[in-house]
Amino acid sequence: MWLTNLSIRRPIVILMVFTAILVIGFRSRSGMPIDLYPKVEIPYVTITTIYPGAGPEEIETLVTKPLEDAVASVNGIKNIVSYSQEGISTVALEFELETNLDTAVSDVRARVDATRRLLPNDAETPVINKIETGAFPVLWLGISSKRPPRELRDLVDNVIKDRIAKLKGVAGVTVTGGDIREIQVNVDKNRLEAYGLSINQISQALAMANLNLPSGRITENSREYAVRAIGEFDNVDDIRHLRLRFGGGGVLTLGQIAEVKDSVAERTETTRLQKQESVGLLIQKQSDANTVQVVDAVKKELDVMKGILPKDIQIGVSLDQSKQVREALADVNTSLWLGAFLAVLIVFLFLHSIRGTFIVAIAIPTSIIATFIPIYFAGFTMNMMVMLGLSLAVGILVDDSIVVLENIYRHLSKGETPAEAAFNGRTEIGLAAITITMVDVVVFVPIAFMGGMVGRFFREFGITVASATLFSLFVSFTLTPMLASRWYRKGEAVEASTGFFAILDKFYHELDTRYRRVLAWALDHSWFVVVSGFTILMALLLGLARKAIIRLVLTKLPVLIAVIAAALLVRFVTRRLRKRPFLDMSHVVALRTPTLVVIGIVLILFFMLPSPRFEFFPRMDQGRVGVTIEMPSNASLAATDAIARQVEDVCSKIPEVESIFTNVGSTQAGIRGGEKGANYAQVMSSLKEKESVFDRLFRVFRGGKRKRIRSDQEIAQELRHKLSGIVGARIIVQTAGTMGRGGSPIDIELTGSDTAELNAVAQQIKSIIANTEGILNADVSWKVGKPEVQATIDRVRAADLGLTVGQIASALRTSIEGSTDTHFRENGREYDIRVRLNEFDRHDLSDVSGVVIGSIDGRPIFLRDVAKLTHTTGPTKIERKNRQRKVSVTADLAPGYAVGNMQRVLKKELEHVHLGDVNLFWGGEVQQMRENFAYMISALMLAVSLVYMLMAALFESLFNPFIIMFSLPMALIGAIGALAITGETLSIVSMIGIIMLMGLVTKNAILLVDYTNTLRARGMERNAAILEAGPTRLRPILMTTLAMIFGMLPTALKLGRGSEFRAPMAIAVIGGLIVSTLLTLVMVPTLYTMFDDLLVGWQTMKLRLLGRLAATPQDDAGSE
């Protein structure tokens, strides 16, 4: 090994190399942006179009369908989902993962621009956005004051918003709540009739009188002049004094037939912070910006603005994403260094040498700091997945150095000089050490390049761990032997003779002796050991599926009894024919104690092991609980607000609630866009910081306030109980962990062409789901909206009166909703001028038929003259998927229930529902699990294949790797069992831990088999080699395994906040390591002898066969 030789001979060179690595590593770390999650380009593009005043069905027909038809032919589209609700259309395009999203956005924008002429004139320009994990809101502010809401909204719109929007890293600022200034022209219907005018004429006259129009240029001699017609209104009086002509040539001013006033727009949304009316400010960062830096910059700017803003302006924070980022990274960082300390402590207890421990321990910070170099140049952020990878890799980083140093110790004990021991100890296990490191690396290759959205999410995790592991291998080849050659002395005692460590050494020697005895017994009873081992594994596996197996046995009991009886009969007949006893108990009696132990373990595992639960991602306590309020469809904003205030009062009495942010008029729900309307509201409660184990420990010594003890799920459950007494509204309580998924965990999608059939099936499914244990908030997406008055126009009658459908519809819309075709500009700001009938003429349903929609010969034409009015209802929101109507049945889950298990229960109950022409799909988390678990299984199989190939190359054998591969099912069962025992779910996160295990658990077996082969190559008999290799490698195996376990223990114990996400991975790895190590130490040597016997038998049989074939020609020659 030239690199090890160079390190021992040229220590200064190696010292400078690592100094350079550390300097560059620190520089790379300081240059990495900080964020909560990796930057992942989600293949979604949304098209949002606002069409004020239009109902869901009009939105669907006039806006959504044309947009869907336009973009349907864009390359790479996987699904088209749309939501049409009052005043707004949202079309969400899901693309295939490999699609270039920038190109897709350009294509979508071109198709939408080409379709713009087909959309209604009153519809706003469609807004196209691509969704990125890094581009979501990072700060929610509530701005309150004692001044009027209009003044406050103007201040926020024109001062605060503009200053924040120009900050570096800020992508957008959205303002909600308050009163928006509007110039209102409220036309008197009676005077309109008297003068023979239509409201459309008023609107057109205002638009034509409010223009600044460039008119060209004139060149005079050497000068050029621009010509511009200036005619915009300078003030509200100009609008009021606008002159209008009516039939007969008369002239009147606008003020004579309408009330013109500087007022505010009709409020459709109200926001409050801490039960005080406020203006909401939602700040969104750019996808590649640093969350912490953006939030800090906004807060700094707000501090600066305090000097120029009025003193009564109060700014409160409802959501601060940077706080969560800091806490999550700090907790992972704490788990990392605590794990490192525990791993080093384990090493110290085994080596009982400060120098030796330091040599091993130095691999941890060196490898971690060096890892920042490649991940910095790869463009990674300092996020939770990178830190999680480093924290879980802590125990792995010392593996190589432990194995090398332990071997150096062994050579020192033989009397070699430190330099010789360092070189020989490293080179003796060089290839095996490379292999045990590379098996770790190759299992992370499938993780780093796994397909699906989860593959992209965990890519940074896989590359981080692989990079750190490779650097630890480099440390073990260079720094470890170099330091060992310098810090140890020839003839130095490697074991203590007195004190605590002497007791430990005595314990290790006693452990070696006992293990040797157990191993010798196992080799003598190899078949019993192997059968018992696999029986225990099968019991563990079957115990996880106990309920299904018992149900199957009960349903097939007669068949099972018949099969057992037939087997016993066959055995009885065969034994009688051979004159042997029916039951030969001699072997069982000889092994009665081990047999009883195995039977006891099997029974315990089968009957006492909890069943595992399945879900997509573990639920995190994000410190927020949301209450969604749904009133009857005809409820007013004031009525909804009254219920929201009752909810606020209940929430404010929960001691863990820190702040309350209320939005009346709309709700938030991820890509779906939530609900919008006067009958909806949402009260978001931000909870106090949750107390971690460290906080509890420090509070004992330092004192201070207690933080939140209860979880968000417990607080949500209390709110459900306390809010159940509020009548007149449907109230849904959810945690942010549920809401953050963009919807409910249970999401059954029904598609078809017949809306009535869709609703009928949806209601059947809802009634079944609602009565299932563990289900909360069962709901159907199709809801009856507000009562409607529909005007069906008589085209013939309208034509006779010289009117078109467009003119009639425009007049009706202007009369009731109002027209904002023209604007009033003042000091560079623009405000709507809304023309409509005054409130007295549009406050009753009977007023609709009397709306003036035109005139003929000075006589007014009313709506009732050309249209028939009918009363009906429509939906509040229309959902479509792939250009078909869709109705979703959704539900939340009670604490302790997992979506995977619940889906199996519901699927069985829904088998009896008659669907007719309706198509049923499981969406939401179930769909994501189905898609991404397939990628996980593929990555797992690839990891196993790569590990086998690597070991086959090491051993130059196709059989030896098979022996080691038997440790993989042991690890798999151990991981699933550990998750079941601890109550954790089998999720994407824990599956990543299981893939990690495919590399980790083979390391011990590689050390064992490789050293056995080395001893046999030196001439030692097989069983003697195994009995020598086992105890010799016992200490490094235990040391590396315990170092990995204790390195991951802080993460598994959920010591920090947000650890619910990280813990399942660590628990799976620890469970797999424990079970596989205990079984590997006995089963792998036993399997080694069995496979070796089979190989020898095969070779003997092959030689005999070849000998016979060679002898046959000689016999033939002799006979001749």
> pLDDT tens digits for 899-921?
888 888 888 888 888 888 889 98
Residue 558's pLDDT is 63
Percent of the chain predicted with pLDDT > 90: 9
Beta bridge partners of 494: none
Question: Are the C-beta atoms of residues 967 and 393 closer than 8 Å to each other?
Answer: no
DSSP state for residue 690 in the 8-state scheme = B
**pLDDT tens digits for range 610-656:** 777 788 878 777 888 889 898 887 788 889 999 999 999 999 999 88
- Does 1-24+352-494 match 32-133 in CATH topology? no
Nearest by Cα to 64 from 44, 87, 91, 86: 91
pTM score of the predicted model: 0.77
Mean pLDDT of the 397-406 span: 78
Q: Which two tokens stand for residue 615?
A: 């879900």
For the cut 50, the answer to whether the pLDDT of residue 295 exceeds it is: yes
Mean pLDDT of the 267-280 span: 87
pLDDT interval class at 834 (50, 70, 90): very high
Residue 592's pLDDT is 66
Q: Which of helix, strand or coil describes residue 831?
A: strand
For the cut 90, the answer to whether the pLDDT of residue 23 exceeds it is: yes
- Cα distance between residue 737 and residue 618, in whole Å: 9
Question: Are the C-beta atoms of residues 932 and 452 closer than 8 Å to each other?
Answer: yes
Residue 741's pLDDT is 43
- The more confident residue out of 136 and 740 is 136
- The more confident residue out of 613 and 765 is 765
Q: Which of helix, strand or coil describes residue 1098?
A: helix
Residue 384's pLDDT is 81
| Type of residue numbered 162 | D
| Type of residue numbered 754 | D
- Cα distance between residue 746 and residue 778, in whole Å: 9
What are the extents of the domains in the chain?
1-24+352-494, 32-133, 623-629+655-694+718-739
Pairing of strands 276-285, 270-273: antiparallel
Radius of gyration of the chain (CA): 38
- The more confident residue out of 675 and 133 is 675
Nearest by Cα to 421 from 821, 429, 327: 429
Q: Which fold has domain 32-133?
A: Alpha-Beta Plaits (3.30.70)
For the cut 50, the answer to whether the pLDDT of residue 183 exceeds it is: yes
Q: Which of helix, strand or coil describes residue 1077?
A: helix
Domain 1-24+352-494, CATH? 1.20.1640.10
**pLDDT tens digits for range 1003-1021:** 778 878 888 888 888 888 8
Contacts of 995 (CB under 8 A, 6+ apart): 443, 446, 447, 936, 939, 940, 943
Question: Are the C-beta atoms of residues 819 and 834 closer than 8 Å to each other?
Answer: yes
| Type of residue numbered 1067 | I
In the numeric block, the tokens 């007719």 are attached to 916
**pLDDT tens digits for range 730-764:** 888 888 754 334 467 888 999 988 888 888 999 99
Dihedral through CA 937, CA 940, CA 944, CA 950, nearest 10? 140
Residue 495's pLDDT is 60
Residue 357's pLDDT is 83
DSSP labels, 697-716: HHHHHH-----B-S-HHHHH
Mean pLDDT of the 52-57 span: 81
* CB burial readout 647-671, b (16+ within 10 A) else e: bbebbeebebbbbbbbbbbbbbbeb
Our measurement of the distance from residue 47's CA atom to the centroid of its chain's CA atoms, rounded to an integer in Å, reads 23
- Cα distance between residue 645 and residue 813, in whole Å: 33
Q: Which two tokens stand for residue 595?
A: 């047999």
Residue 112's pLDDT is 92
CATH of 623-629+655-694+718-739, one of 3.30.160.270, 3.30.70.1430, 1.10.10.10, 3.40.50.1000: 3.30.70.1430
Question: Are the C-beta atoms of residues 25 and 370 closer than 8 Å to each other?
Answer: yes
- Cα distance between residue 574 and residue 580, in whole Å: 9
- The more confident residue out of 929 and 1057 is 929
For the cut 70, the answer to whether the pLDDT of residue 364 exceeds it is: yes
- Asked which of 102-116, 195-209, 430-444, 935-949 is least confident by mean pLDDT, the reply is 430-444
For the cut 90, the answer to whether the pLDDT of residue 64 exceeds it is: yes
- Cα distance between residue 813 and residue 808, in whole Å: 9
**pLDDT tens digits for range 554-592:** 555 565 566 666 665 665 556 555 555 544 555 555 566
**pLDDT tens digits for range 442-486:** 887 787 777 777 788 888 888 898 899 889 888 888 888 888 888
Q: What's the whole-number average pLDDT of the chain?
A: 82
For the cut 80, the answer to whether the pLDDT of residue 228 exceeds it is: yes
For the cut 70, the answer to whether the pLDDT of residue 87 exceeds it is: yes
Our measurement of the distance from residue 978's CA atom to the centroid of its chain's CA atoms, rounded to an integer in Å, reads 23
Residue 673's pLDDT is 52
**pLDDT tens digits for range 339-350:** 888 888 888 887
Mean pLDDT of the 180-199 span: 88
In the numeric block, the tokens 């075709």 are attached to 821
Question: Are the C-beta atoms of residues 190 and 257 closer than 8 Å to each other?
Answer: no
| Type of residue numbered 302 | L
Angle between helices 384-397 and 459-477 (to 10 degrees): 30
- Cα distance between residue 877 and residue 885, in whole Å: 11
- The more confident residue out of 548 and 930 is 930
Q: Which of helix, strand or coil describes residue 851?
A: coil
DSSP labels, 753-811: S-HHHHHHHHHHHHHHHHTSTTEEEEEES--EEEEEEEEEE-HHHHHHTT--HHHHHHH
pLDDT interval class at 65 (50, 70, 90): very high
The CB-side HSE value for 227 (13 A sphere, CA atoms) comes to 6
How wide is the angle at C-alpha 689 spanned by C-alphas 683 and 693, nearest 5°?
145
Mean pLDDT of the 1049-1075 span: 83
For the cut 60, the answer to whether the pLDDT of residue 90 exceeds it is: yes
For the cut 90, the answer to whether the pLDDT of residue 694 exceeds it is: no
Mean pLDDT of the 422-434 span: 77
For the cut 80, the answer to whether the pLDDT of residue 292 exceeds it is: yes
Residue 548's pLDDT is 58
| Type of residue numbered 489 | R
Contacts of 727 (CB under 8 A, 6+ apart): none
DSSP labels, 392-461: HHHHHHTHHHHHHHHHHHHHHHTT--HHHHHHHHHHHTHHHHHHHHHHHHHHHHHHHT-SHHHHHHSHHH
Question: Are the C-beta atoms of residues 1009 and 960 closer than 8 Å to each other?
Answer: yes
Question: Are the C-beta atoms of residues 855 and 861 closer than 8 Å to each other?
Answer: yes
